[in-house]
Amino acid sequence: MRSILVTGGAGFIGANFVHFLIAETAVQVINLDKLTYAGNLDTLAPLRGNGRHVFIEGDIGDRDLVRRLLRDYRVDAVVNFAAESHVDRSIEGPAAFIETNVVGTFNLLDCARAYWAGLGVAGKAGFRFLQVSTDEVYGSLGPTGSFTETTPYAPNSPYAASKAAADHLVRAWHHTYDLPVLTTNCSNNYGPYQFPEKLIPLVILKALRGERLPIYGDGSNVRDWLYVTDHCRAIWQVLEAGRPGEVYGVGGASERTNLQVVTTLCELLDELLPHSPYRPHGQLKEFVADRPGHDRRYAIDAHKLRSELGWKPQEHFESGLRRTLVWYLEHQIWCERVMDGSYRGERLGFPP
Ligand code: NAD
Ligand code: TDX
């Protein structure tokens, strides 16, 4: 059985990917996660007792641990989701982003290289290191055009800069040491298990409590939304059939302004909660001070992934948003438990 080391597999996309691997493939999953505020074992509860899933609490920066896992589980591929992922937090406290996203990725790469160098011919040829990256490394777009795999990197937030640095390391480990790496740069994800600091789940939970829905600036910043399972399938297809050393853009071709997203959510809440005292939920919208350095627009041209690997998104934004809202309505205990820690929905991201 093939064995895949998934890092950050207790977080939003990583956990969705782990669920996808267990449901749709026959691989063994070794799930390494530090369980920061964003990682939750509740998310993995449905896998309890599943012999194809092994959870290990630990840090991608722990050299001895990573070396041991690669060797003991005879790992065939590493998929690196582990990261500090929230832009607003990176403005308040960038150090953790450098530590995990840059130094942690370096550690993982270097351990993978040493392990890979010791494999036999077939093992070496089949091994992959897939870096899960973001469209934010490319900076901000004007009103037209899209990012492609050849767009120059121009990160604007500490988060984006840390992801860009990691991507450069991944590229260099291929170019210099021949490590068979793959990089995916994806646009904004949404769906089940997203920590309620990100726009969509934050707005849902605040609306349920009748709290103000914070819209940064004038709400006209644009994001290109992709349902998380479509991202998971893209990663799997790249892992299976992507060409080592290549980069693949992943995007849903679903551009919406933040104001459109919040307005659609409010309309869906009105429909699904006809007895809510907060109807119409649109009255809760509030324009607040903009995010420092707020990127104006992201959009990914996923042509390469579509034409080379036959990937295309299956979920439409409006139906995916409805599904996501229904999931959050039905999983309020999950929300309460993940919000039990230090974060209670307050505004983050003003420099001290
Ligand atoms: P998340 O914050 O929900 O989850 C991150 C996970 O990584 C958590 O479970 C956390 O405990 C774990 N982690 C953090 N530091 C670690 C460390 N040092 N060692 C081991 N585990 C550690 O993030 P997400 O939204 O699921 O994003 C996953 C990856 O996808 C990230 O690399 C992110 O940059 C990338 N990405 C995210 C999006 C998005 O829209 N969320 C879009 C494109 C790319
Ligand atoms: O309260 C809010 N109000 C608001 O208007 C929050 C939390 C966000 N926003 C805006 C900022 C962005 O333009 O909504 C948009 C989306 O914000 P986030 O959910 O924080 O996501 P973003 O900053 O776009 O980054 C996300 O997509 C790319 C992920 O967090 C990253 O990990 C990923 O790389």
pLDDT tens sequence across 307-341:
999 999 999 999 999 999 999 999 999 998 888 77
Tell the residue nearest (CA) to atom 37 of ligand 1.
Answer: 134
What is the rounded end-to-end Cα distance, in angstroms, of the chain? 50
To test the pocket of ligand 1, the residue of 81, 200, 338 to mutate (highest count of ligand atoms within 8 Å of its CB) is 81
Instruction: Look up the pTM and report it.
Output: 0.98
Is residue 227 part of the annotated active site? The answer reads no
- Range list of H helices, 100-227: 105-117, 121-126, 158-177, 199-208
- The reported pLDDT for the residue numbered 352 is 47
Distance of CA 110 from the midpoint of ligand 2 (Å) = 31
Length of the chain: 352
Is residue 224 part of the annotated active site? The answer reads no
Could you tell me which residues come within 8 angstroms of residue 148 by beta carbon, excluding any fewer than 6 positions away? 249, 301, 303, 304
Percent of the chain with pLDDT strictly greater than 90 = 95
Catalytic residue selected from 59, 76, 135, 230 = 135
Separation CA 105–CA 112 (nearest Å):
10
Is residue 330 part of the annotated active site? The answer reads no
Please state the atom number of ligand 1 nearest to the C-alpha of residue 189.
40
- Inter-CA distances, 211 with 202, 258, 284, 339, 343, Å: 10, 18, 7, 16, 16
Please state the atom number of ligand 2 nearest to the C-alpha of residue 187.
28
To test the pocket of ligand 2, the residue of 137, 167, 291 to mutate (highest count of ligand atoms within 8 Å of its CB) is 291
pLDDT at 120 over 70: yes
DSSP H or E segment with residue 295 = none
Distance of CA 151 from the midpoint of ligand 1 (Å) = 23
- CATH label, 3-191+225-254+296-316, candidates 3.20.20.70, 3.40.50.1820, 3.40.50.620, 3.40.50.720: 3.40.50.720
Q: Which residue, 110, 108, 86, 104, is CA-closest to 5?
A: 108
Question: What's the mean pLDDT in 54-83?
Answer: 98
Residue-wise pLDDT tens digits, 286-298: 999 999 999 999 9
What are 241's two structure tokens? 């059939």
Instruction: Report whether 295 contacts 221 (CB < 8 A).
Output: yes
What are 165's two structure tokens? 């640095």
Residue-wise pLDDT tens digits, 162-212: 999 999 999 999 999 999 999 999 999 999 999 999 999 999 999 999 999
Domain boundaries, the chain: 3-191+225-254+296-316
